[in-house]
Amino acid sequence: MKKLFGQISLLIAVMIVAQIQAQISIKALPEKIFIESGRNSQIINFDFLISNSGSDTLELHKVNVSAFDSAGNILHTRFLDNNGTAPSVKMLPVRKWNGNESHLVFNPFNEFFLATAISQLEFEWTFENNAKKQSVVTTIVSPEKYVQKTNFLLPVKGRVLVYDAHDYTSHHRRFDYNFAPIKSLGILSNFMRYAYDFVIIDEKGKQHSQSGDENEQHYIFGKEICSVAAGKVIYAVANHKDDGTFNVPKLKENPLELYGNCIAIEHSPGVISVYGHLKENSILVKIGSSVKAGQPIAAAGTSGSSFFPHLHFEVRTSIGHESQGLPSYFNDLYLREGTKKIPLDNHAPETGSIIEAE
């Protein structure tokens, strides 16, 4: 009889695990996931949409990732879990799913310092229900190396600070398009997934003179912005004030309203560069214009959703609500580290980097 009870208990445990697995759905987004080339790393920028279709509350206790090469050989493995007085799993702001609830989770394992190309990532998610029973759900991700077919020039001249790029903590990266107010505007994806904010700095690293309270005190304000490559202008708006404001409801009609005065240039089908927060009435091109690489197109400003003068630059697949962000690299680029100038061609500059075109 004791043996029978043991078998029944084991069967019940298996059934509970299966029930937890059945009610959790995990989808990696976007559908096409790219590997960016960092200076010494492979950078993989994507999200997980995790849904709980059951009535039970589930809490995430551990995430494990393993990276494999094209032959299936393991390259690397690491995890976030609940150990420690300040457990690393708390780096994920959402760890609890109530019944019939979905949340977006930003991939916490976004950079791998590996010489061998990653072909596949295997994620294991350990969830626990109200009865303290745990179950592991596995997600397979197959990223591909991003190859940029068009050479890009840096759109800003001089000593440039990458004020914010798209690493794990960047505001571009942490755009939750599953958040109800964002979804209500018709936005379906993270079009700024690979965006940069550029500012000009002096030799001491300052972005502005005096207090910086006036737009004109910022070194980038009014400075020339150039097209990164040859293409055709498909969007150009110039009449927004340089006051950091924008009309939120208008995002339902036009997501580029976020950037105030803005230009979008199509370089090839599905490859569009966007230049945002431009100075009022500074735009030198119009819709339908053909531009050359390095051609001046506008001046930097602080229109749209902008706290201070800077250039917002991104590459994306379209100018609609469904647009996906694309990586971008720049040719003839140097990373400045003190007095050193280090070539950075065809690698993604990181937040905090000081860069300069040749």
Q: How confident is the model at residue 10 (pLDDT cuts 50, 70, 90)?
A: very low
Over the stretch 240-297, which tens digit does the pLDDT of each residue have?
999 999 999 999 999 999 999 999 999 999 999 999 999 999 999 999 999 999 999 9
Cα gap 75→58, rounded to integer Å: 31
Residues of the chain with CATH 2.60.40.1470: 2-145
The chain-wide mean pLDDT, for the chain, equals: 93
CATH class of 2-145: mainly beta
Q: What does the H/E/C string look like for the chain?
A: CHHHHHHHHHHHHHHHHHHHHHHEEEEEECCCCEEEECCCCEEECCEEEEEECCCCCEEEEEEEEEEECCCCCEEEEEEECCCCCCCHHHHCCCCEECCCEEEEEECCCCEECCCCCCCEEEEEEEEECCCCCEEEEEEEECCEECCCCCCCCCCECCCEEEEECCCCCCCCCCCCCCCHHHHCCCCCCCCCCCCEEEEECCCCCCCECCCCCCHHHECCCCCEEECCCCEEEEEEECCCCCCCCCCHHHHHCCHHHHHCCEEEEEEECCEEEEEECECCCCCCCCCCCEECCCCEEEEEECCCCCCCCEEEEEEECCCCCCCCEECCCCCCEEEEECCEEEECCCCCCCCCCEEEEC
pTM for the whole structure: 0.92
Terminal alpha carbon distance of the chain: 81
Over the stretch 35-76, which tens digit does the pLDDT of each residue have?
999 999 999 999 999 999 999 999 999 999 999 999 999 999
**Cβ-contact 282, 238 below 8 angstroms:** yes
Over the stretch 156-207, which tens digit does the pLDDT of each residue have?
999 999 999 999 999 999 999 999 999 999 999 999 999 999 999 999 999 9
**130 or 22, which is more confident:** 130
Q: What percent of the chain has pLDDT over 90?
A: 91
Sign of CA dihedral 165, 155, 148, 268: positive
Cα gap 150→328, rounded to integer Å: 10
Cα gap 274→17, rounded to integer Å: 47
CATH 3.40.50.10490 describes domain 160-357: no
Residues of the chain with CATH 2.70.70.10: 160-357
**Burial of residue 210, with CB atoms counted within 10 A of its CB: 0-12 exposed, 13-18 middle, 19 or more buried:** exposed
